[in-house]
Structure 1
Amino acid sequence: MKIALAQINPTIGDFTGNVERILDFTRKAHEGGADLVLFPELAVCGYPPADFLDKPSFVARSEEAMTEIAEATAELTIASIVGYVTPAHASTGKRVMNSAALVRGGEVAFVQSKMLLPFYDVFDDQRYFAPSEKQHLCHFSGKRVALTICEDTWNDKNFWQKRLHSVDPVEELMREGGEIILNIAASPYWRGKRKTRREMLAAIARHHCAPVVMVNQVGGNDSLIFDGSSLVIAADGTVIAQAKSFEEDLIFCDIGARSGDMHWQTDNIDEAVYKALVLGTRDYVRKCGFSKVLVGLSGGIDSALVAAVAVDALGKENVTGIGMPSPYSSTGSVEDSRRLAENLGIRFELIPISDLFSEYGKALEPLFAGLQPDITEENIQSRIRGNLLMALSNKVNALVLTTGNKSEMSVGYCTLYGDMVGALAVIGDLMKTRVYDLCRFVNRDSERIPLAILHKPPSAELRPGQKDTDSLPPYELLDPILEAYIERYETPEEIATKQHVDLQLVRKVLKLVERSEYKRQQAAPVLKVTKKAFGPGRRFPIAVKVQV
C-alpha cells in the first residue's frame, strides 16, 4: 500500500479554500501513484474552531464540504482520509464530534470519531465534542486499519509515566486485529515537541509491532503554531518517511517496501523556534487579511528580533520600522535602529516624541503639582509611542507587532496601552536570554542585527541612565526563576533550593508575576513556542491574594 501524507495549512472557517486545498493535494497524491492520502485533523474547517462549533450552520457547512470532496474525487482511484466535524447524538449533550472520514468512490465509506478529548493547556475538546464510545477497525486494501485522531495516540502506558485518560484507543483497536495505525492530527508546536512526538510514536510502533502513519496540520492559527513534521514509522520504530517542518508538504511512503520520502527537518532548537515564529507571524497577518506590519524600533534587542522575524515572514517591502526617540533616548539607539533597518532592507521613519511629551507634562502640571516625577512620566512616553503606532496602523492599514518578551510580560515590566499595543506578541513566549540566542541565530551568516544592539546593556531609556537591572535581577538569574514558576509550577522554596538563590529574591520576583496578571490578560495574542505560554493555555484570576 502506497500512502501519501498531505500536510496542509488550512484556515479556520474557510471551507471553500480548505476544500480546494484538499482537492489539489488529493490530485497530486493520485498523480504520484498513492492508494490513500491522509489529511490532518479537522482539515475541512481548520483547527481549533472553538465556539464556531456551537453554530449549527458551521457544522452543516462541514458536512456539505465533505460531500463536495467525495463528489469531486469520485473518478479518481485514490481514497482519502479527511478530518471534519459531524453532528453528535442529542443524548450526549454535545453538538458535535471530531471525526475522520474515509472517502472512496465518490462517497464517505467509513467514519471514525475521536475518543480521547484533551482538556489541558490550550485544548478545549471536552468543551465542544462528544467522545466516541467505541471505535472500529477500518478495512482498506486488504488491511485492517486502526484509524485514530491526534490525542487517541497520546495515552500509551508504556511511554507515559502519568496517563491523562483511562482508555488507550490504539491498544483496543490493535487487540481487535489492527495491522497498521493511522493518526490524523493537529498537534501544536512547542520547544522539544517534535522529539517527544517522534519518540512516542516510535514506542507505539515497537510495542504493537505495526507501522504508524501520522499526518499533522501545519501553519499558524492565532497563538498556536502547528509544525507539521508528519511521519511514517516502521514496526521496529525506524522513521521511514518524514515531511518538512513549518511548511506545507506532500510525501509518499510504500509501507510494504519500508521506503518513503525523507524531507529535511532541522535538529537545531533555535532554528526550529525561529521558523515557528516566522510561520506564526506570516499566517496571523495574512489570515487576518493584512499584508504589511509596523515595528517600533527602540535600538534594543527585542524590537530588532521582531523586525527580523517580520522580514523573513512577510518580505522586507512589507515591514516598516518606526523610531520614536524621547528626551532620554541615546544617540546610539537611534543610529542602531537606522542601521538595523538598513541591514534588513526595510523602510525606517523617525518621529521624535520630545515635544509631545512636553505637552503632556504641561497639560498634567496642575494635577501633578507637588508630586515628584516617577514611573508615571516613564509610562507616558511609552503610551505616546503606542498612540503613534496605532495612528499609523489605522492610516496605512498595517498591523502593529508588539516587541515585549516573556521575561518582561512575566514581571509586568511593560506598559499597558504603551509598548503592549498591537495585534501580535511575536516574542511574548521567549525569555530575554532566549531572545539573545535567536538573535545570534539570525546573525549566523551575516550581521543582520548590528552587534552594538547585542552588546549594549538592556534599557527602556525612559529616564536618564536607566538600565533594566535597576528594577530587575540580571536576566541570567531572573529567567530560570520565571521558567521554574511559570512553566513548571515550582514553589518559591523549590526554586530557591534547586537554583541556589536567595528565597526572598525569589518571592519578590514571584510577587511581581502575580501582580501583573491584569496586564497579560489585556495583551496581544502570544505566539506559543514553550509548553506553557501566556494566553489560553494559562488561566489565572486577576483579583487574588496568593498564598501558595
Structure 2
Amino acid sequence: MSVSGNTPLFNTSHGKLRIVMAQMDFLVGDIPGNTALIIEAAKRAYSEHEADIVVFPELCITGYPPEDLLLRPSLNLRVSEALECLQNAELGAAIVIGVPLRNDGLLYNAAVVIDGGKVTGRYFKRFPPNYQVFDEKRYFAEGTGALVVDIRGVPVGLTVCEDIWANGPVEDSVAAGARLIINLNASPYDIGKQARRKALLEHKSRENRVSIVYTNLVGAQDELVFDGGSMVFDHSGTLAVEVPQFAHGLFPVDFLCDSHCQPASQPLPAEPSLEANIYNALVTGVRDYATKNGFRSVVLGLSGGIDSAVTLAVAADALGPERVRAVMMPFRYTADISLEDAEAQAMAMGVQYDVYSIEPMYDAFMGVLAAPFEGTTADTTEENLQARIRGTVLMSLSNKFGSLVLTTGNKSEMAVGYSTLYGDMAGGFDVLKDVPKTLVFRLAWYRNSLSPVIPERVITRPPSAELAPDQKDEDSLPAYDVLDQILSLYVERDFSADAIVAEGFDQADVSRVIRLVDINEYKRRQAPIGVRITERGFGKDRRYPITSGWKSGN
C-alpha cells in the first residue's frame, strides 16, 4: 500500500526547499521497469507535492543487490539507455538516483543527479562494504573525494549508504561547502538496525552541524529484507522526520535554508514492538519473494505444531488466504490434538485446507525396503522416511499447481540439523530460517494479539516432530531457552566453546551443540533460503567449510 507523508508547510522560494523521499521497492535486474517506476514517482512527487528534489534509494536502477548481473556485458548499455530515458522524461523536479556507473574502465556504485534534463552531478561511493551480507568490492571500485552539487541554489553533498558509517565522506562534503547531506541507502533489516542507524545519524549530523536526508530501500530480495525507515536529522542531531518502517510511498520534507538547512519537524511514528517489527519483516520477505518470482500461490505442511502455525499466519498475512494452501499429512504418531488444532487454524485464517494420510505411502516404501532392512532395528531412518514422504507430497502439489513450497524449520533446528534432508527441508523458501525457536513462540503470541488465529495449546504444548511415539524435541536437544543462548553466542557472536562455558553454560551441552552445528553445515548448504532478521543468518552471512578439521574449543 502506498502512503504519503504530511502536507508540506510551504512552497519553494526564498531559501525554501522541498525534498521528497521515495521509499520504494525495486525488482533486481528489471532496469526498464525500475526506470519507469522512478519516472512515475518523480512526476507524482512534482505534481502532488511540488517537490524540488526527489531522492531514491541506492542502486534503484538495477535493484539491490544486483550481484553478478553487474558483470554482464550488456549492463553499461542498459544503464546508459535508462539514464537517457530519465533525462528525456521532463520530470519537473531534480532527482537523485542510485546507479552502477562505469568511469575510466572501472565500475562504481554511484549517486547521480538529473536536473532539467541533464546529469548535473555524479558521486562515486567511497566505502563499498565487504562484510556480513555485503560483497561490493567484488564489483565496485572505491570512489575518491566529495561531491557538492548546487540544487535549487542549495549546495548539497551526496553520499551512498556505507559512506555515512565511515569517517570522511560527510566531513569532506561539509568542508567543501555542503549545507545539506543526501544519503542513498539499500540498508537491509536486522533486529535493532533502526536504532543503530538513528544513533549514527544523530552523531554525524550533530558533529558536522549539517542536516542529513537518509532515504532507504523497502521490500525484499531473496533472503534480504529492506525496511525503509527513511529519516531526516537536523544540524543539531535532532530527529525531525521518520518514515514508518515497511511503508511504501513518497514522503515530503520541507527545509528552510538560511544559515542551516533546517527541516520542518513532523510527528514521529510510534516505536514498534520487537515482535511487530520482526513479523513485518517476515511478511515482507514472503510477499516479495513469492510475488516477484511469479508464484500465484504457496503451499505448506501444517502439522499442528508452532513452527508451521506461525509460517501459515505469515503466509496468509503476506499474500492473502486465497493464495495459501495448508496440507495436514497425518501418520500413526500424529496426535488427535494436532489434527484438531491444524484444522482450527486453517479455518480461522480462511485458507485452503487438505488432509492426506501418509500411512499407505509409508507402508508401500517399507514393503520395498523390507528385504534390505531385514535384521535391522528401526531408527531415525524410518522417522526420516515419514518426513521425506511429506516433502514429496508437497513438491508434487508444487509442480502440478505452480505453488511455492514454504518450509517451516526455524533457526534453532537449522543450526543443529534437527531436520530431514529432502523431507521437511524440501521446498523453496523457509520463512523462519533465521528465527530462533524461543522467538517463534513470541511471534505466535504477538500474532494472536492481532486476532486469535493460532490455537493456544499449539503454543503451550511441548514441541514435537511426532515421528515416534511420545516424542518431544527436548528428548534430543537441550531446552530451547538454553539452546538458543548457546547458538546465539556460537553462531552470531563467534564465541569459542571455552568462552561459552565461561558464560555459565554446561560443558556437555556446549560441546554437544557446537558439534551439531559444525557437522550439519552440509545440510544447511542444501536448505532453501529464508528471511534474514539477525546480524548473522545462515546463508550470505555465515560461510563455513563443510569439510574441515577445525576444533572450536578455544
> TM-score under structure 1 normalisation?
0.95
Q: Number of residues paired by the alignment? A: 530
Equivalent of residue 361 in structure 2, options 356, 369, 373: 356
CA distance in 2: counterparts of 1:35 and 1:18, whole angstroms: 21
Equivalent of residue 396 in structure 1, options 375, 396, 401: 401
Which residue in the other structure is 2:525 paired with? 521
Matches within 5 A, 1:181-260: 181-256=181-256, 258-260=263-265
1:14 paired with 2:33, answer no
Matched-pair contact (CA < 8 Å) for 1:251–1:260: no
Matched-pair contact (CA < 8 Å) for 2:232–2:263: no
Letter in 2 for 1:85: P
Letter in 1 for 2:463: P
1:546 paired with 2:537, answer no
Matches within 5 A, 1:22-41: 22-31=38-47, 32-41=49-58
CA distance in 2: counterparts of 1:272 and 1:490, whole angstroms: 27
Offset, 1:504: 2.1
Which residue in the other structure is 1:449 paired with? 454
CA distance in 1: counterparts of 2:347 and 2:354, whole angstroms: 12
Matched-pair contact (CA < 8 Å) for 2:276–2:446: yes
Identity of aligned residues (%): 40
CA distance in 2: counterparts of 1:271 and 1:311, whole angstroms: 16
CA distance in 1: counterparts of 2:491 and 2:296, whole angstroms: 34
Which residue in the other structure is 1:281 paired with? 286
Matches within 5 A, 1:234-383: 234-256=234-256, 258-262=263-267, 264=269, 266-383=271-388
Equivalent of residue 432 in structure 1, options 405, 429, 437: 437
Which residue in the other structure is 1:163 paired with? none
Letter in 2 for 1:394: N
Matched-pair contact (CA < 8 Å) for 2:231–2:243: yes
3-state DSSP of counterpart to 1:41: coil
Which residue in the other structure is 1:139 paired with? 150
Matched-pair contact (CA < 8 Å) for 1:245–1:265: no
CA distance in 2: counterparts of 1:48 and 1:275, whole angstroms: 21
3-state DSSP of counterpart to 1:249: strand
3-state DSSP of counterpart to 2:332: coil
1:67 paired with 2:84, answer yes
3-state DSSP of counterpart to 1:444: helix
3-state DSSP of counterpart to 2:449: coil
Equivalent of residue 109 in structure 1, options 93, 101, 120: 120
Offset, 1:267: 2.6
CA distance in 2: counterparts of 1:27 and 1:21, whole angstroms: 10
Matches within 5 A, 1:468-507: 468-498=473-503, 500-507=504-511
Offset, 1:29: 1.3
1:85 paired with 2:90, answer no
Offset, 1:359: 1.0
Q: Deviations over 1:391-416 (max 9, x none)?
A: 00011111000100000000000001
User: Which segments of structure 1 move beyond 4 Å, counting only runs of 4 or more?
Assistant: 260-263
CA distance in 2: counterparts of 1:263 and 1:43, whole angstroms: 26
CA distance in 2: counterparts of 1:46 and 1:59, whole angstroms: 15
Matched-pair contact (CA < 8 Å) for 2:111–2:160: yes
The unaligned stretches of length 5 or more in structure 2 are 1-16, 257-261
Moved more, 169-178 or 361-370: 169-178
Matched-pair contact (CA < 8 Å) for 2:60–2:99: yes
Offset, 1:144: 2.1
Q: Deviations over 1:333-372 (max 9, x none)?
A: 1111101101111111001001111111111111111110
CA distance in 1: counterparts of 2:54 and 2:314, whole angstroms: 33
CA distance in 2: counterparts of 1:106 and 1:268, whole angstroms: 44
CA distance in 2: counterparts of 1:346 and 1:383, whole angstroms: 24
CA distance in 2: counterparts of 1:87 and 1:176, whole angstroms: 25
> Cα distance 1:175–1:150, how it changes in 2: closer, same or farther (>3 A)?
same
Offset, 1:265: 5.2
CA distance in 2: counterparts of 1:202 and 1:173, whole angstroms: 17
CA distance in 2: counterparts of 1:296 and 1:380, whole angstroms: 15
Instruction: State the superposition RMSD in angstroms.
Output: 1.2
Matched-pair contact (CA < 8 Å) for 2:415–2:517: yes
Letter in 1 for 2:87: A
The unaligned stretches of length 5 or more in structure 1 are 157-167
Matched-pair contact (CA < 8 Å) for 2:94–2:151: no
Matched-pair contact (CA < 8 Å) for 1:210–1:235: yes
Q: Deviations over 1:232-252 (max 9, x none)?
A: 111111111222211312111
3-state DSSP of counterpart to 1:542: coil
Offset, 1:291: 2.3
Which residue in the other structure is 2:166 paired with? 155
Which residue in the other structure is 2:14 paired with? none
